[in-house]
Chain A
Amino acid sequence: MDKLGNKTLIGASATFTGKVINARVIEVNGKMNADLTAEKVTIGEAGHFDGAIQADLVVVSGHYEGKMQAKSIWATATASISGKLHYETLQMDRGAALNCHVVHNWKAKNTAVAQIDNDDADLLMPTTLGKAKNGAVPKPPIEGA
């Protein structure tokens, strides 16, 4: 039994197709076909999720297909994922099946370009430094590029 807190549940025998707005914490044990933006998404062992997910944390124990963008992704031993993953931290348990494109979304501030801006600014030609000096932060690579 799950305590009825702030969690939306899609039951094991349920099928949902459509659109979800305002989701925060959602657990999918059934079949779901939707694009989702949420704080935490859990795909249960029996769960099937088809569609895009944008979330802080995604725990996948079931089947996922689509494009996922998440700060943390945890693929448990029973996970099977296909599609595309963008992540900052990824945990994969022994047994998890990933059949997908995996991209690490690093933070632009931590890259070498930012260091050059701070440490070696004097050594570089002003022209090459123009953009960095203006405080423009290099953008992470565009999806699909």
Chain B
Amino acid sequence: MSAKPYDQMTSFHDDTTYILGDLIMEGSLDGGDHPVVIDGQFNGDITAIDLIIREQGKVTGAVKSKTAIINGHFNGNLICESLNVTNTGIVEGEVQANALSIDLGAEVIGTISRVNAKSN
């Protein structure tokens, strides 16, 4: 994998799951061992190692991941080890994260707590 952060990458490996701009997906997605990049709209549950919601991306639902980078819009329940909400990111809902970074300009509305042993 390239050293570039996912949100700046212009190309992805075939193993990456990438949901394109005007696409709307509803259901449950398990990214397996590879990253999931959302540039479109996703309603439902996502399980992934790395989740990247790009600037145009919108996710509504429950997410469980190791790392999450949110440049776009997230609404729902998020459980992850490390979370980065960038300056264009909007997060609404319940967030559980052990390592949290919120950039200046980001919107975070809801509750934030640490991941408890039970839910991990």
Chain A residues, Cβ within 8 Å of B15: 11-13, 29
CB distance from A18 to the nearest CB of B (A): 1
- CB-nearest residue of chain A to B20: A8
B1-27 to A contact mask, C-beta < 8 Å, 1/0:
000000001111111111111111111
Q: How many residues of A contact B (CB 8 A)?
A: 30
Contacts of A7 in B (CB 8 A): 18, 20
B-chain residues with CB within 8 Å of residue A29 when the two chains form the complex: 14-15
- The answer on a CB contact under 8 Å between A16 and B32 is no
The answer to whether A17 touches B11, judged by C-beta atoms less than 8 angstroms apart, is: no
Which of A13, A23, A25, A27 lies at the interface centre, i.e. has the most chain B CB atoms within 10 A of its CB? A13
Known: A4-B9, A10-B17. A17 touches B23 (CB 8 A): no
Q: Is the CB of B12 within 8 A of A1?
A: yes
- Are A13 and B34 in touch, CB under 8 angstroms? yes
Among B34-88, those with CB < 8 Å from A are: 34-36, 40, 44
B100 surroundings in chain A (CB, below 8 A): none
Best-surrounded residue of A8, A15, A19 (most CB of chain B within 10 A): A8
Q: Which of A3, A11, A21 contacts B17, CB < 8 Å?
A: A11
B30 touches A14 (CB 8 A): yes
Size of interface on B: residues with Cβ below 8 Å to A: 30
Q: Is A20 an interface residue (CB 8 A)?
A: yes
B26 touches A1 (CB 8 A): no
Q: How far is the CA of A100 from the CA of B19 in the complex (A)?
A: 30
Contact B24 A11 (CB under 8 A): no
Residue of B nearest to A23 (CB): B23
A120 interface hit (Cβ, 8 Å): no
Name A66-109 residues within 8 Å CB distance of B: none
Q: Are B11 and A4 in contact (CB under 8 A)?
A: yes
Quick check: A4 and B32 within 8 Å, CB to CB?
no
B27-A14 in contact (CB<8A): no
For the complex formed, measure the closest distance between the CB of B31 and the CB atoms of chain A, giving whole angstroms.
5
Q: Is the CB of B18 within 8 A of A18?
A: no
For the complex of A and B, list the 9 residue pairs with the smallest distance between their C-beta atoms, beginning with the closest.
A18-B27, A13-B32, A11-B17, A21-B24, A8-B20, A9-B18, A19-B26, A14-B17, A15-B30
